[in-house]
Amino acid sequence: MRNSTPLKLAIWLLLVLAGSWATPGAVMAQPGDVNGIDVRLIEVSPTQIEIQLRANNPWDFSDGVGNLTFAIRWETAAGGTLGTATQSDLCFFGGLRLLQNPGINNVDNSGFRYKGYNCTGAGWEDGDGCNYPANTWLPYARVTVTGLTGCTDFEVVASDAFTQSVNSNWFISLGGTNITANSDVVAPGVELGSCDVDCNGVTGGTAFIDNCGDCVGGTTGEVACVQDCNGEFGGTAFIDGCGDCVGGTTGEVACVNDCAGVPGGSAFIDGCGDCVG
């Protein structure tokens, strides 16, 4: 029988060389290689926001302990408060639990309201099943919005004057390494509240089209038309001195006063110039 060992060795060498030459200088991503995690907000319902994370490489225990800090911002004029975070994913709840920052608990500053969150994670252990694919948005936590009265955008703040002053800019690290520079806050955020545009072009406004086809109420300064006595919206029919609905589309004319001043009365001026009858 022919010795097949040299042939097998040659094939193995070709496979190794092909793998190294296929993508010069490239190294396949492995767990432990995460050096960027993006964050974004999505709407779950009119009163709930979901915070999502996206790692740029496969993410598991080998990436080490995670820490993150951020604040969510929206317009003070819209009212509303954000609550504590809830996490249904047990891996995130156990190893990357998100807590509220007691120093930024629905705080108003320069026209915006802020709610702060942070995490000092315990990390995961080998074999606990906590592993996530690369470049996939992951449901990390949810927060509930209450008391919102206007329309506004909720957004994670990368950095502004207030978050800088309270040390709450967007920050994330893995395994003790700061990876914030490679981790984006992904727009556009979430729009919640009374955000419909009324007929006068005002977002969240209360102007409406009345029964005469006109935009009234809200900030228009106009009032809705009403029905006349003949049931016509904006009509000109009216109740005359005799108690009858006349004018407008009725086809009726108003009664007149007689010489004694009685509407529809029968008094008249006689031949001597006197009001009689």
- Return the biggest CA–CA distance within the chain: 154
pLDDT of residue 120: 92
In sequence order, what E strands does 110-244 have?
Answer: 112-120, 138-148, 152-156, 171-174, 177-178, 190-192, 208-209, 215-216, 238-239
Q: CA 49 to CA 115: how far, in whole Å? A: 13
Cβ-based burial of 54 (10 A; exposed 0-12, middle 13-18, buried ≥19): buried
pLDDT in tens, the chain (277 residues): 445 555 554 544 444 344 433 333 333 344 469 999 999 999 999 999 999 999 999 999 999 999 999 999 999 999 999 999 999 999 999 999 999 999 999 999 999 999 999 999 988 999 999 999 999 999 999 999 999 999 999 999 999 999 999 999 999 999 999 999 999 999 999 999 988 888 998 877 888 999 999 999 999 999 999 999 999 999 999 998 899 999 999 999 999 988 888 888 888 888 888 898 7
Strand partners, 105: 115
pLDDT of residue 78: 95
pLDDT of residue 26: 36
pLDDT of residue 57: 96
Number of H helices, E strands in the chain: 3, 17
pLDDT of residue 144: 98
Between vectors from CA 134 to CA 130 and to CA 137, what angle results, nearest 5°? 85
Distance, C-alpha 235 to centroid of its chain:
43
pLDDT of residue 7: 53
pLDDT of residue 15: 43
Q: pTM for the whole thing?
A: 0.69
